[in-house]
Amino acid sequence: MVYLTRGALCEPIKRKQGTKKWALPSIMRCPKRARCKMTYSSYFKWAVWMPAILLPLLFIADTLLPPVTPFGGWKQFFHMFILAFGVGAYFIFAFLASRVIDRKTEREVVRLACWAPVIFIPFYAAPWFLYGVIYLVSGHLAGLRLMVEWLAYIPYLLVAGYFCSIVTIVIYQVVKRFFRQEL
């Protein structure tokens, strides 16, 4: 049996008969007498998927918590949340990145983490371009603007992406250095 806690894989050691089973309230720590292994691949997979989980939750909280933001329909939702913030593109990026992480060495994964914001640009641009083409084909000239509007967001994307990449790598190096037995 394998438990996933705090990004680490915890495998319980064989127990003698009559010992207590692992209780649900202790989910934030590994079960007693368990070996916790956090490999570089599990850490970076966790780091890649965390924004894909948190960003939609923040959008839901922003929409539902007071003061309630007036909702402008599906076009505004699609343009702001899916295109501008890149949520749709990030799910595809995270899925492909988590598959690539398994096939790379530790050094290659750290190098990919440094290049992740630049690698994400085509994933970010594709929905903008496709939406612009669909909008243009449907008879709206605003599709031309959408096909190139993503270029205006690239500086923000790179700044936020490099901030997240640097934080991820620094945390990884600190954990690796001070908790060597787990990584």
The domain ranges of the chain are: 1-37, 39-178
pTM, 2 dp: 0.70
Q: Distance between CA 93 and CA 5 in Å, rounded?
A: 24
Q: Could you report the per-residue pLDDT of 138-159, keeping only the tens digit for each?
A: 988 888 888 888 899 999 999 9
Q: 41 pLDDT exceeds 80?
A: yes
Helix (H, G, I), strand (E, B) or coil at 169: helix
Residue 164 has pLDDT above 70, yes or no: yes
Could you write out the three-class secondary structure of 77-107? HHHHHHHHCCHHHHHHHHHHHHHHHHCCCHH
Residue 89 Cα distances to 8, 14, 77, 95, 106, angstroms:
27, 43, 15, 10, 25
Q: Are 11 and 37 in contact (CB under 8 A)?
A: yes
